Amino acid sequence: MFLYQGPVKELDDKFVTLIGKFVADIKHGKIRGSTNRVLAMVTLLETIITESQYTTALELCGAIRAAGRQVMAALPNELGVEGSGESLQRLVLAAGARRATLGTAQHDLREPLRDYIAELRGELESSISSICGQAREHVHGDELILTYGASAITEKFLRAAAPRKYKLILAEGPDPTESHAMANRLSAAGVPVTVISAASIYAVMSRVNKAALGGGAVLSEAGLFSVTLAARHYRVPVLALVPLYKLCPIHDLTPFNSSGSPHTALSYDHHEATSDNVHVYAPMYDFAPPDHVTLFITNLGGSSPSYMYRMLSELYDPSDYLL
Amino acid sequence: MEIDKENVVQAVVIMDTFNNHFSPICDNKPMGLLQVAGIPLIDFALESLSHGGVGEVILFCCKGGQKIKDYVRSCIDNKAIWSVTMEVQVMMSDTCQTMGDVMREIDAAGLIRGYFVLTTVNSISNIHFGSLLEQHKQTCKKDKGAAMTLVYKKVSWEHPLIASDKPTFLAADANTKKVLMHQKYKPKSTEKSINLPLEIVLNHSEVKLHHNLVDASIALCSPSVPPLFSDNFDFQTRDDFIHGILINEEILASSLYYTLLKGNQYAAAVTNWKTYQTVCHDVLHNWTYPLSIDTGLSYQNTYFDMGNHNFRNKNSTLSRSSSIVENVLIGSKTVINDNTVVTKSMIGKKCVIGNNVTIKGSHIMNNVVIKDNCNIVNSFIDDNCTIEENSVVENGTIIASNVVVQAGSQLRGNILESTEAEREKTLMKSTSESTEWENESSGSGGDDFIGFEKTWSDSESCYSSDGSDESSLPDSPIPEDTNIFLQEVIDSLARGYEEKLKNDYLILEINSSRYAYNIQLHEVNFFVVRALLSIPVLAETKNVLSTVKDILKYFKPVLSNYIKTKSSIMDCLRAVEDSCIKCQWLEGKCGQILHLLYEADVVDEDSLIEWRQDLEENESPIANQPSLVKFFEWIEEASEESDESE
């Protein structure tokens, strides 16, 4: 336990600049999609590990923790929602470092760690395809599937299920253009798609056989809750597509939501937009309670919500929950 | 490396606004360090540029350059996010007085390699400059002369950004987006018609007219822009440039284009206190996303969202009994004590707010101490001020840094400055002086000062009490030279009267001053009479009329020298009118004065009657004075009598 009680190491200037660049890239939208972000984070940590002069587990853990804290302070919502994997990766690495070295702390750890990182990266890259591999187990012929908004993983999943000849209802997410583009691509891939507005989700839910949701599943883009709530009312099974890197043991719920630009709700053209008595809220995320989800589909197979804690404890050392 | 450099997007940020709209707050510190929603403007500018894909920034400072330089260096030392992706260069020049000078300087220094973004420090936007610049390059491919693409945001006519700034009218070709006409109106202009030259409509298949554009002072420029400024020395501002280009399109072989921002893009400029408030509000309400109250060093999210758009820093301390109503921002280490109510306000860092204070619609900067029972409404309080107990600060009061407001003060629409020279924190400007200050600013600045808003967002009152009537300057003030001339004439006449000098000498003296100040003959007539009636003796004596009679008798030769013709008599009468209005000692005695003049044979009946008609037409304030009415009755009677006697 002593590993986590020591003071956090000061990072080299070199690394601070690297972290700054990483944060800037994410902030400016240069790195899109959670998988890419996680991969970028792994690359960042790998650089820190290989280029640092620390060799012992304790020192490496200190450096990684310091980097983790910085990233988390800069991007709390990314961490909590989309890129929760970032914190995870850091923890996995720390755990890996310990696993490989307990007792023999004097050895140069960097070489074994590099192998471990390569393995991890392979796992990350294959996680989506392994989720999509399960598509045909869950989607059957002549079923009516509902999905909400655009997300890369749902699109791949639905595409993989295309030979099953199911029908798809796509409810528009916060950004309708992206949803429309995804509907276009899917219909080109041979899936019959019907696009509906988010307002009519409840109306069609009674006819839907399954709802498939991606993009973070539990904490996801705004509007998700209305989907899961309607699904629960009609007892429609909800499949949440979650690669394991999205599971995160630590999540600071205080700034749980962050608000985006309110232009989606009210155009800035209107003078009401700057009126004092008008408050426009445009939360970016929504929380679907676990009892709304029937099955989490991870890269290790489907598991029910009540089993998720087990997954977490397998992935992380409980002493890593605190940075 | 060289190829890489060419693709880097360059931006020029002009760090001054070249006006005194934010006086006295921005007198001693650069505009870039003025805080909007707790963040200095320069942070917003740099952050938005780095977000917009700009790789190299030139900050051009005309005053306070060293402060900006230090600030930028400290940001880089603290690893601000933009410092990773952007190269920032601070340029200083004390000689530049206008934006045109800045552009000429930049041209001379040869800093611009190609297409660039031109913006000012007071504009806040979340647009992607890189892609807009790319768009401008496409335009340039079609039209070699394209010099500038202006960036506008379209909003509704009632929007405060338009209502409190100069509205822009723009006519443009709908197909090519080429600007054909550009006009800026004064705020709250009453002009109801727009003149559109016929050829604009005839020469283009489709013309678009825009009247509801917000000018965020962002422009995308071709390499030809700085040389254009150098070639035309009369281009002082960007508006000059736009007008020059539009008028001399053929000669300069340049043209202008415009682009409108889309729904999710935000752009606005902080040009006066009203727009300052609007932009603060927008930042707080996240319209500027991803720029936000957390913009700055490295996006360390340090604010708690308390709902209702109230944000407080994690290090701030709020008393349990204080209440935060809506749209409030509280900076770090600020303490708010019992029963204090805060609404629609921004409070900076390390402030201490006492008990039972009400703060509404105000902007309070850092290290301000507000003691118990104060009432702060719609005011701006700069760094390190102290407001003692039981004070009332309201109606657009602006308090510069390091001021101590005494206990129990009542400040309404005042502007307080600290005197740096004496190192004493004293009140410099009282209420009566503050109006003077505004007149000065509107006169010398050339631009209308728009004051702090009286009510936070009352769309009707565009100008505050301290800004209400400056658009009309004090009516026809006497120009300098004639004023001095009048004073000299008064002096010589007074001296002549006291020392009983010869009238001939006085005439000589008056004539020589007349040539010295280049005064027209009819003005001389006017001023001589005006001076006669303003001799200081008159103000002191008890019996004004007998003194006037004396004076007229004494100066008879002078008068007869100047007042000879009909038109000179009219000048004389106008002078009497003017004196009666302006000189207290002649109040209500207009008729008597005229009587004296009439008796002295200076004026005649015909001109008197004509003058009276003039008075009535012009609705002069003395037209209905009883003494005047009486005098005219008497004149009429007298003329009838004389008719009869003949």
Chain B residues whose CB is inside 8 A of the A270 CB are 155-156, 159
The rounded distance, in Å, linking the Cα atoms of B137 and B130 is 11
Q: Which residue has the tokens 């993983």?
A: A153
Q: Residue B441: what are its φ and ψ, rounded to 5°?
A: -65, -40
Residue B459 lies in a domain: no
What's the domain count of chain B?
A: 3
| B51/B100 same-domain check | yes
| B319/B267 same-domain check | no
| B189/B226 same-domain check | yes
Kindly report the three-state secondary structure assignment for every residue of B409-421. CEEECCEECCECC
Yes or no, beta carbons of B82 and A259 under 8 Å apart: no
Yes or no, beta carbons of A261 and B459 under 8 Å apart: no
Q: Is B158 on the interface with A (CB under 8 A)?
A: yes
Task: Kindly give the interhelix angle for A57-74 and A85-101, rounded to the nearest 10 degrees.
Answer: 170
Yes or no, beta carbons of A254 and B304 under 8 Å apart: yes
Of A23, A259, A274, the CB nearest to B159: A274
Domain end, chosen from B382, B410, B436, is at: B436
Q: Which residue has the tokens 């397998």?
A: A314
> Domain range holding B373?
302-436
Residue B569 lies in a domain: yes
| B542/B607 same-domain check | yes
Of A20, A74, A261, the CB nearest to B264: A261
- Other CB atoms within a 10 A radius of the CB of residue A143 amount to 16
Question: Residue B311 is part of a domain; what is its CATH number?
Answer: 2.160.10.10
The first and second tokens of residue B629, run together, are: 């009415």
**Would you state the pLDDT for residue A317?**
66
Q: CB–CB of B107/B118 below 8 Å?
A: no
Residue B571 lies in a domain: yes
∠ CA(B36), CA(B39), CA(B40), 5° rounding?
80
Q: Which residue has the tokens 């009238």?
A: B503
| B118/B201 same-domain check | yes
The rounded distance, in Å, linking the Cα atoms of B209 and B206 is 10
| B158/B274 same-domain check | yes
Yes or no, beta carbons of A262 and B327 under 8 Å apart: no
The rounded distance, in Å, linking the Cα atoms of B396 and B451 is 7
∠ CA(A133), CA(A139), CA(A143), 5° rounding?
160
Tally the residues of chain B.
Answer: 646
Residue B35 lies in a domain: yes
pLDDT averaged per 10 residues, chain B (length 646):
63 84 79 86 87 86 85 82 82 83 86 87 87 89 87 84 79 87 74 80 87 86 88 83 84 86 84 86 85 66 80 88 91 92 91 92 92 90 90 86 87 71 37 34 33 39 34 42 78 80 80 75 80 76 77 79 80 79 73 79 79 77 75 76 58
Yes or no, beta carbons of B309 and A255 under 8 Å apart: no
The rounded distance, in Å, linking the Cα atoms of B499 and B505 is 12
Per-residue pLDDT of chain A (323 residues; tens, 9 = 90+): 344 445 556 667 778 778 777 777 777 767 777 777 778 877 887 787 778 776 666 677 777 777 777 777 766 665 543 444 444 455 555 555 555 554 444 556 667 777 777 877 888 888 889 999 999 899 998 999 999 988 888 999 999 999 889 999 999 988 888 899 999 999 999 999 999 998 999 999 999 999 998 866 667 778 888 899 999 999 999 999 988 777 776 665 555 667 777 887 788 887 777 777 888 888 877 888 888 899 999 888 888 989 888 887 777 666 666 65
Strand partners, A171: A148, A196
Domain end, chosen from B436, B461, B488, is at: B436
Chain A residues whose CB is inside 8 A of the B157 CB are 271
Yes or no, beta carbons of B278 and A274 under 8 Å apart: yes
Q: Which residue has the tokens 């009439």?
A: B598
Chain A contact residues (CB < 8 Å to B): 16-17, 20-21, 23-24, 27-28, 73-76, 254-255, 259-264, 267-271, 273-276, 279-280, 282
**Would you state the pLDDT for residue B355?**
92
| B333/B211 same-domain check | no
| B559/B414 same-domain check | no
Residue B297 lies in a domain: no
Q: Which helix (H) or strand (E) holds B150?
A: strand B146-154
**Would you state the pLDDT for residue B526?**
81
Residues 6+ apart with CB under 8 A from B436: none
* Alpha-carbon gap: A55 to the closest alpha carbon of chain B (Å): 27
Question: Residue B74 is part of a domain; what is its CATH number?
Answer: 3.90.550.10
Residue B445 lies in a domain: no
pLDDT per residue as tens digits for the range B283-302: 888 888 878 777 665 556 67
Yes or no, beta carbons of B285 and A271 under 8 Å apart: no
Q: Is B502 on the interface with A (CB under 8 A)?
A: no
| B399/B522 same-domain check | no
> Which of B9, B125, B287, B458 is the best mutation test for A, with the most CBs of A within 10 A?
B287
In chain B, the residue whose alpha carbon lies closest to the alpha carbon of A257 is: B305
Question: What are chain A's domains?
Answer: 2-131 (1.20.120), 136-251+280-313 (3.40.50.10470)
Question: Residue B612 is part of a domain; what is its CATH number?
Answer: 1.25.40.180
The stretches of B18-115 forming alpha helices (DSSP H) are 25-28, 41-51, 65-77, 82-85, 99-109
The rounded distance, in Å, linking the Cα atoms of B62 and B56 is 20
Q: Which helix (H) or strand (E) holds A302?
A: strand A301-303
Chains A, B: CB contacts within 8 A come to 101
Residues 6+ apart with CB under 8 A from A309: none
The reported pTM is: 0.71
Strand partners, A211: A146, A238
The stretches of B340-457 forming alpha helices (DSSP H) are 431-445
* Alpha-carbon gap: B406 to the closest alpha carbon of chain A (Å): 32
| B270/B344 same-domain check | no
Q: Which helix (H) or strand (E) holds B311?
A: strand B310-313
| B513/B406 same-domain check | no
| B516/B572 same-domain check | yes
Residue B472 lies in a domain: no
Q: With a cut of 0.90, is the ipTM above it?
A: no
Yes or no, beta carbons of B309 and A273 under 8 Å apart: no
Q: Is B79 on the interface with A (CB under 8 A)?
A: yes
Q: CB–CB of B125/B217 below 8 Å?
A: no
Domain end, chosen from B436, B461, B493, is at: B436
Residue B20 lies in a domain: yes
